[in-house]
């Protein structure tokens, strides 16, 4: 059995149905926290303070470096049931200043201060389906992008140069943009339906900020000015997402136990599952069909019903044809195992009889099936 097929079989058979990652449908909330790296940023004095630096032969530009800091985000959003999500996010990031360099190599000292960023973003995200590439179905990768508005605050960011204390303190808001990449792992196997653990990387950038500057001491004659600064953030976050109306999957059907000898034997049902948009049989599917064929011979079954089904990820017309191909594939395998085609009736129901009710466009592994009923 191939690695990919083994993963799919293990997911459907060995794991609870609720462990399968499903696209979010409806309202959800999320939160995350982690480490934030604030990229070294160009800074440049502006206004009268910059002019005085130039008069003294000092380039008014340099770079500021930051210590690793922390970040938190919170969001509320809506899932459309097809992998697409839209959300509004609030965020906060904080980093301490590590070093300031530049200014024509003039010796600086007492470098200190704190940089903070906070604001609101609007994001669009898409949950990816990588099952065809062997990614387990209980892992849901996603990507996204967003735009918004971020306020940048410098809290007493400063240094001493030529005996003067130069510091930046103030807040400035600018347009912001970000990219997101991560993955989710549902916690439903532990009884937490709708709750998903998330891990993600975020890049957040803004247009250049302008912060007020002051100088005092030394031989400086100008007391006020400004500083322009870049703002590029790299964040690694762990979080939780809760979808309010995530459906509880129906229990996986199993072969009904045989009735007492004195009572009429009940129908026996076998379920054969298929990969997304496929009608070919996996190794596990052939094993189940083989068990059904053995039961036909051992129980004296006279009528075999084979019914094909599909999930709701395609059009009803396409799903009707796909469910027919699946049913025909199962019937052909039964015949190959010695069951007369005269005993087999084949039906196709498309997406009309789901085992797990879903919204239109949702890929649901348990609905991609053929039911074999022995009567």
- Domain covering 268-374, topology: 60s Ribosomal Protein L30; Chain: A; (3.30.1330)
Q: Is the pLDDT of residue 361 over 50?
A: yes
Give the model confidence (pLDDT) of 118-159 as tens digits.
Answer: 999 999 999 987 766 666 667 889 999 999 999 999 887 766
Cα–Cα dist 173/229, whole Å = 12
Give the model confidence (pLDDT) of 303-357 as tens digits.
Answer: 899 999 999 988 888 999 999 999 999 999 998 888 888 889 999 999 999 988 8
Q: How many of the other CB atoms lie within 10 Å of CB of 219? A: 9
Order of strands, edge to edge, in the sheet holding 304-308? 268-273, 369-374, 304-308, 344-348
DSSP type of residue 168 = E
Q: Quote the strand ranges of the chain, DSSP E.
A: 25-38, 41-46, 61-66, 69-80, 84-102, 108-127, 140-161, 164-186, 195-206, 209-216, 224-229, 232-243, 268-273, 304-308, 344-348, 369-374
- Could you state, in order of their start, the residue ranges of all structural domains in the chain? 21-243, 268-374
Mean pLDDT over residues 52-74, rounded? 81
95 burial via Cβ count (<10 Å: 0-12, 13-18, 19+): buried
303 in helix, strand or coil? Answer: coil
Cα–Cα dist 337/281, whole Å = 14
Cα–Cα dist 253/354, whole Å = 13
Class of CATH domain 21-243: mainly beta
173 burial via Cβ count (<10 Å: 0-12, 13-18, 19+): middle
Output the average pLDDT for the chain: 81
DSSP of 358-370: --TT---GGGSEE
Please report the pLDDT score of residue 3 as a whole number: 44
Give the model confidence (pLDDT) of 219-272 as tens digits.
Answer: 555 555 567 788 999 999 999 999 997 665 544 445 555 555 545 556 788 999
């Amino acid at each position: 059995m191939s690695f990919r097929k083994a993963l799919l079989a293990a997911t459907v058979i060995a794991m609870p149905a609720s462990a399968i990652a499903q696209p979010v449908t409806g309202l959800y909330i999320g939160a995350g926290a982690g480490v934030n790296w604030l990229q070294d940023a160009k800074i440049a004095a502006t206004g009268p303070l910059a002019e005085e630096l130039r008069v003294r032969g000092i380039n008014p530009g340099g770079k500021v470096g930051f210590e690793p800091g922390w970040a938190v985000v919170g969001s509320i959003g809506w899932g459309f049931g097809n992998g697409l999500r839209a959300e509004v996010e609030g965020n906060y990031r904080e980093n301490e200043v590590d070093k300031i360099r530049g200014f024509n190599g003039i010796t600086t000292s007492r470098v200190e201060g704190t940089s903070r960023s906070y604001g609101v973003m609007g994001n669009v995200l898409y949950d990816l389906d990588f099952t065809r590439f062997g990614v387990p179905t209980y892992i849901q990768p996603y990507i996204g992008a967003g735009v918004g508005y971020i306020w940048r605050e410098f809290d007493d960011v400063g240094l001493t140069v030529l005996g003067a204390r130069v510091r930046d303190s103030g807040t400035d808001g600018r347009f912001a943009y970000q990219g997101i990449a991560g993955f989710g792992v549902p916690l439903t196997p532990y009884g937490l339906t709708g709750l998903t653990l998330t891990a993600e990387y975020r890049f957040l950038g803004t247009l250049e900020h302008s912060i007020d500057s002051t100088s005092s001491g030394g031989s400086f004659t100008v007391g006020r000015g400004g500083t322009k600064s870049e703002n590029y953030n790299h964040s690694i976050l762990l979080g939780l997402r809760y979808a309010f109306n995530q459906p509880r999957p129906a229990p996986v059907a199993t072969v009904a136990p045989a009735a007492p000898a004195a009572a009429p034997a009940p129908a026996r049902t076998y379920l054969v599952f298929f990969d997304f948009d496929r009608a070919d049989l996996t190794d596990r599917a052939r094993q189940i069909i083989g068990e059904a064929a053995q039961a036909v011979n051992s129980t004296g079954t006279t009528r075999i019903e084979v019914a094909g089904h599909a999930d709701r990820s395609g059009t009803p017309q396409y799903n009707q044809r796909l469910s027919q191909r699946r049913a025909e594939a199962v019937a052909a395998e039964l015949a190959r195992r010695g069951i007369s085609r005269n005993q087999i009736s084949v039906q196709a129901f498309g997406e009309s009889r789901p085992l797990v009710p879903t919204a239109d466009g949702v890929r649901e592994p348990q609905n991609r099936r053929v039911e074999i009923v022995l009567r």
